[in-house]
Copies of this chain bind each other. A is one copy, B any other.
Amino acid sequence: MNKITIGVIGAGRIGKIHADNLLRHPHARIAAISDLYAGAELEAWAAERGIGLLAQDSAEIINHPEIDAVFICSSTDTHVPLIKQAAQAGKHIFCEKPISMDIGQTEEALAAVRQAGVKLQVGFNRRFDHNFRRVREHVAGGAIGEPHIIKITSRDPGPPPKEYIERSGGLFMDMAIHDFDMARYVSGSEVVEVYAQGSVLIDPVFAECGDIDTALITLRFANGALGVIDNSRRAVYGYDQRVEVFGSKGSVATANDHPNTAVISTAEGIAYDKPLHFFLERYAQAYVEEAQQFIDSLLSGAPVPVSGEDGLQAERIALAAKLSCKLQRAVKLSELDELRREYAPI
């Protein structure tokens, strides 16, 4: 097989990005795309791209005989059933994060994938960012020695609408989950304990939804290293995405990406432009690369770069953070299953 045939499930913003990136990949082609709300606009969009089939029902994708792999880009609550169906149909799977908001269900999905022997890659796109990948390279190459302190800053330029907040699963599962994966990725170590603090400092709507808008999460890693993530739903100066790993032989740290390097000096001071606006701009190339590596691993038989297990671990940390914030104490990952039973549903 030297060309992978893809079906895309869900043609929202992220589904379209994946589709456009796949269309430019020399070894991928898109046979079909499905969306519950498929209409005239989407038809035009698909036609312009020469995508042969536009369906409302995802089953048409999953049962399509030519399709080798599916990209699941629909809403989070559909991920688990779609993964199970696709796995049973023998399709490889790329699934957007998180797999689900319920660890039990995520485990079921992973079991179905294992049983079917298909591949599953989870959409932690930030692992493919040029900055964070360079951090990982330095850490993995031993340049900073043993990691001691991991610091992740992750702040959005502005809060989502109320309807989004209500269904998001909360800051830890929706926003910080990327950072939990990043913590594992750059450190190369597992998280064993979480202590999370949250505040509502930006907009009372978060409190109304039982959510928070500002968080500080500390992590303890298996190797004794300590980590901290700070999240905000609104950095007025733009998307703030930075990582620092400090270790026995030094540190590596990244700055934000900016649209240009121009520095203007006037009588008022020295200034430059704000960071790239949001994730679509900042991670544009990372989306290209994650799709490419998924295709590459299907072609070469190599393991996918972000596994279902990676998806599960990030969800477990997110749940531990949620519980820690609720219980106002540190939560060990080893006590998570017991706490899940005690506090279910959470």
Contacts and interface: CB of A to CB of B under 8 A. Distances in A.
A24 interface: yes
Interface in A38-60: 48
A130 B273 CA distance: 12
Most B Cβ at <10 Å: residue of A251, A256, A272, A274 = A251
A37 interface: no
A229 to B, nearest CB: 10
A121 B40 CA distance: 38
A235 interface: yes
A215 B151 CA distance: 13
Contact of A254 (B214, B252, B262): B262
A26 B44 CA distance: 13
A248 interface: yes
Contact of A226 (B138, B197, B225, B255): B197
Given A250-B267, A269-B274, A328-B330, A218 B195 contact: yes
Interface residues of A, number: 69
Given A228-B218, A271-B271, A272-B270, A264 B195 contact: no
Provide the main secondary structure of the chain A interface: mixed
A274 B266 CA distance: 8
A115 interface: no
Contacts of A264: 138, 143-144, 250-252
Interface string A253-295: 1111101111111110111111000000000000000000000
Nearest to A146: B201
Contacts of A151: 151, 230
Contacts of A249: 236, 266-267
A85 interface: no
25 contacts: A131-B260, A134-B273, A143-B264, A148-B201, A149-B230, A149-B232, A151-B230, A195-B195, A195-B197, A197-B218, A199-B224, A201-B225, A202-B248, A228-B228, A228-B230, A234-B248, A235-B251, A236-B266, A237-B270, A249-B266, A252-B262, A265-B274, A270-B271, A270-B272, A329-B330
